[in-house]
Amino acid sequence: MSGDGGTPLAKILLVEDNEMNRDMLSRRLVRKGYEVVLACDGQAGVDMAAAEAPDLILMDMSLPALDGWEATRRLKAAPATRHVPVIALTAHAMSGDRDKALEAGCNDYDTKPIDLPRLLGKIESLLGPAATQKDPAPTRTE
């Protein structure tokens, strides 16, 4: 069923335990035209990924129940969810975190606080051109 705003660009599962971060990022993604489903911990994230079949997952790494690394390992081990791109989100720009996220199977990595244009760029490059907004026709200034 499509809403008044037309068909969403894609469905994104946001796994984030911090309520303020979750609300803010989900609102901004919805405003950009994405459908967003939410999970508050790693186990819920794994369950929601199987139930909702999202097109992409944004995974906080520091999560209760299962941390983001273990949740991603499980997602990437399950045939139903292993193809879904995962972008890891962490609060620290530590290089060890990045390597650990990629080793767990994350397809990309970004740090908080979220820089929305930068994150959208990563989302769009993983979803591919079919699932992203078309750029307006280029305007020539000459």
Of 9-17, 30-38, 48-56, 114-122, the window that binds Mn ion (rule: CB under 5 A) is 9-17
Distances (CA, A) of 27 to 13, 24, 61, 87: 13, 5, 20, 18
Out of 24, 62, 73, 102, the only residue in the binding site for Mn ion (CB under 5 A) is 62
- Cβ of residue 134: shortest distance to Mn ion, in angstroms? 34
Is residue 114 within 8 A of residue 25, CB to CB? The reply is yes
- Interhelix angle 42-52/68-77, nearest 10 degrees: 30
Is residue 60 within 8 A of residue 68, CB to CB? The reply is yes
The reply to whether 110 sits near Mn ion by the rule CB under 5 A is no
The reply to whether 41 sits near Mn ion by the rule CB under 5 A is no
- For Mn ion, how many residues bind (rule: CB under 5 A)? 3
Out of 8, 14, 17, 35, the only residue in the binding site for Mn ion (CB under 5 A) is 17
Taking the least distance from each CB to Mn ion, the nearer of 60 and 110 is 60
The reply to whether 60 sits near Mn ion by the rule CB under 5 A is yes
Is residue 78 within 8 A of residue 50, CB to CB? The reply is yes
Binding stretches for Mn ion (CB under 5 A): 17, 60, 62
